[in-house]
Amino acid sequence: MKMNREKIELHEVLLAKAGLYEVVYKDMGFPIYIGGDKKKLSVWGGKAETSLGEWDIIDWNNPELLSRMDAIIEGFTPCTKCGRRMKKDEISLEYFAGRYCEDCATPELRARKKSDYVNLD
């Protein structure tokens, strides 16, 4: 993989600013995780229950990310895939930290969740 030096520095700056891998936005802390592949950063919300998405670089001006953080602050759960605001009873599928709306909870995703649970036995 070709690394872009600019990107690496941005990661370092972001992580340093985030302190213990958390950024505070509108008085709420949002944990930041480095993905298992060490390539993606993800921002979590709602006491780290919900993944707000994964990015190579976290751009704090990204309107999509800000809208998902706002949703958490306002008591909604944003769909991990499309960002649609959901109330708790509107969440169609929970898969690891992902929360999916009716439209995004594909049969493939549901099947994957099922097989993961089967494999745990």
User: Applying CB under 5 A, which of residues 43, 52, 69, 79 lies at the interface with Zn ion?
Assistant: 79
**Which residue, among 36, 40, 31, 37, has the nearest Cα to 11 in the 3D structure?**
40
The contact pattern for Zn ion, residues 35-74, with x = CB under 5 A and - = no contact, is ----------------------------------------
Which of these, 87, 63, 91, 92, lies nearest to 76 by C-alpha position? 87
86 contacts 47 by C-beta, under 8 angstroms: no
Nearest distance from residue 25's CB to Zn ion, in Å? 22
> Per rule CB under 5 A, is residue 93 in the interface with Zn ion?
no
CB of 14 to Zn ion, least distance (A): 26
Q: Which one of the spans 18-26, 28-36, 80-88, 112-120 is the region binding Zn ion (CB under 5 A)? A: 80-88
Work out which of 18, 65, 69, 101 binds Zn ion, going by CB under 5 A: 101
Candidates 8, 24, 34, 82; binder of Zn ion (CB under 5 A) is 82
Tokens (6 digits) for 62: 């990204």
Burial call 60-95: b when 16+ CB within 10 Å, e when fewer: eeeeebeebbbbbeeebbbbbbebbbbeeeebebee
DSSP 24-53: EETTEEEEEEE-TTSS-EEEEETTTTEEEE
For Zn ion, give the closer residue by CB, 18 or 100: 100
Note the residues at the interface with Zn ion (CB under 5 A).
79, 81-82, 84, 101, 104
